[in-house]
Amino acid sequence: MLLFEIVIALLLVGAVLALSADRIGAPYPALLALAGAALALVPGTPQVALDPALALALFVAPVLLDAAYDASPRDLRQNLRAVGSLAITAVLVTIVVVAAVAHRIVPAMSWAAAITLGAIVAPPDASAASAVLRKLKPPHRVLVILEGESLFNDATALIVYRIAVGAALTGTIAGWTVIPSPPAAAL
């Protein structure tokens, strides 16, 4: 029950910070990041371990749904090449760079673990990009491309993550097991 109360408290704090950000004219992701860093530095803060499926359902899915709801399918289709190249190329390059740096800093880390780390940190937050961009008021095409990229980059990172975790656990990449598939409960 403590986990439920902590999650509700964090969501409440996030909502208050989002309202505060509007009043002071700052992008709310910046306030959320500062508050998270400050909270991490407070001694005695409880350790919270969320089930990944719960974190996906509570935090990632609603953010992506909100960003997708605001996206225009017509604009995305018109800019598909730019969106796709950023969503795939930029994420893959970031994964490779993070993996190389991590492997260099910690030589004992396997390449599969380093790539897994890269896949975790590579995709930027869709809502953060949208919030910051709306404050800057860029040209419409730039906004469409960056918001579209932020929607699709998670898919690229999740596929690489799945492959890298499988390789880290088994030591090999085995044929059809790298193809994404729905969970057994969904079938």
Per-residue pLDDT of the chain (187 residues; tens, 9 = 90+): 677 788 788 889 888 988 888 788 887 777 888 888 888 888 888 777 777 777 777 777 777 777 777 778 888 888 888 888 888 888 899 899 999 999 999 999 988 889 988 888 887 666 666 666 667 778 888 878 877 887 788 778 878 888 888 788 877 766 555 555 555 554 5
Whether residue 34 is found in the same domain as residue 2: yes
Q: For residue 179, is it within any domain?
A: no
Q: Return the sign of the alpha-carbon dihedral for residues 57, 62, 64, 65.
A: positive
d(CA 164, CA 147): 26
Whether residue 62 is found in the same domain as residue 124: yes
The rounded percent of the chain whose pLDDT value lies above 90 is 8
User: Total structural domains in the chain?
Assistant: 2
**Per-residue model confidence (pLDDT) at position 106:** 93
Whether residue 129 is found in the same domain as residue 60: yes
Question: Residue 23: which domain range?
Answer: 1-49
Q: Are 61 and 154 in contact (CB under 8 A)?
A: no
Neighbours of 73 (CB within 10 A): 9
d(CA 77, CA 85): 13
Q: Are 64 and 154 in contact (CB under 8 A)?
A: yes
Q: For residue 186, is it within any domain?
A: no
Whether residue 45 is found in the same domain as residue 123: no
Whether residue 106 is found in the same domain as residue 25: no
